[in-house]
Amino acid sequence: MKRIVLFLLTNLAIMLVLGIVAQVLGIDRYLQANGGNLGGLLVYSALFGMGGSLISLAISKWMAKRSMGVEVIEQASNPTEQWLLDTVRAHAQRAGIGMPEVGIFESPQPNAFATGASRNNALVAVSTGLLQNMRSNEVEAVLGHEIAHVANGDMVTLTLIQGVLNTFVIFFARIIGNIIDKAVFRSDNERGGGMASFFITMFVQMVLGVLASIIVMWFSRQREFRADAGGASFAGRDNMIAALERLKSGVSEPLPDNLAAFGISGSTAVSRMFMSHPPLDERIAALRAARSA
What tens digit of pLDDT does each residue of 203-215 get? 888 888 888 888 8
What mean pLDDT is predicted for residues 80-103?
Answer: 97
pLDDT above 70 (res 23): no
> Which residues on adjacent β-strands are paired with residue 103?
72, 125
Tell me whether residue 240 is exposed, middle or buried, using C-beta atoms within 10 angstroms of its C-beta: 0 to 12, 13 to 18, 19 or more. Answer: buried
Collapsing DSSP to helix, strand or coil, 122 comes out as strand
What is the DSSP code string of 74-113? SS--SHHHHHHHHHHHHHHHHHT-PPPEEEEE--SS--EE
- Cβ–Cβ under 8 Å, residues 119 and 91: no
* C-alpha–C-alpha distance, residues 26 and 222, integer Å: 41
- Tell me if the pTM is above 0.85: no
Question: For residues 127 and 209, which has the higher predicted lDDT (pLDDT)?
Answer: 127
* 275 pLDDT more than 50: yes
In sequence order, what E strands does the chain have?
71-72, 101-105, 112-118, 121-127, 260
pLDDT bracket for residue 257 (50, 70, 90): very low
Q: What share of the chain is helix, strand, coil (3-state, %, to 5)?
A: 70, 10, 25
State the DSSP code for 216.
H
Residue-wise pLDDT for 135-186, tens only, equals 999 999 999 999 999 999 998 888 888 888 889 888 888 888 777 877 776 6
Q: Is 55 helix (H, G, I), strand (E, B) or coil?
A: helix
The reported pLDDT for the residue numbered 258 is: 39
- The pLDDT of residue 182: 73
Residue pair 9/64 in contact (Cβ under 8 Å)? The answer is: no
**Predicted confidence (pLDDT) at residue 245 exceeds the cutoff of 80:** yes
Catalytic residues: 146
Residue extents of the structural domains in the chain: 1-293
pLDDT value, residue 256: 45
DSSP tag of 273: G
191 has pLDDT over 90: no
Beta bridge partners of 126: 104, 112
Q: With contact defined as beta carbons under 8 Å apart, do 242 and 133 qualify? A: no
Inter-residue contact 157 to 101 (CB < 8 Å): no
Paired residues of 113 in beta bridges: 125
Alpha carbon distance 142, 3 (integer Å): 15
User: What does the alpha-carbon distance between residue 49 and residue 6 come to, in Å, rounded to a whole number?
Assistant: 17
Q: How far is the C-alpha of 122 from the C-alpha of 84, rounded, in Å?
A: 15
Report residue 57's pLDDT band, with 50, 70 and 90 as the boundaries.
confident
Rounded to 10 deg, the angle between the 136-151 and 195-235 helix axes is: 130
Q: What is the largest CA-CA distance in the chain?
A: 69
Rounded Cα distance, 102 and 85, in Å: 7
160 CB-side CA count, 13 A: 5
Q: Report, as an integer, the average pLDDT of 236-246.
A: 95
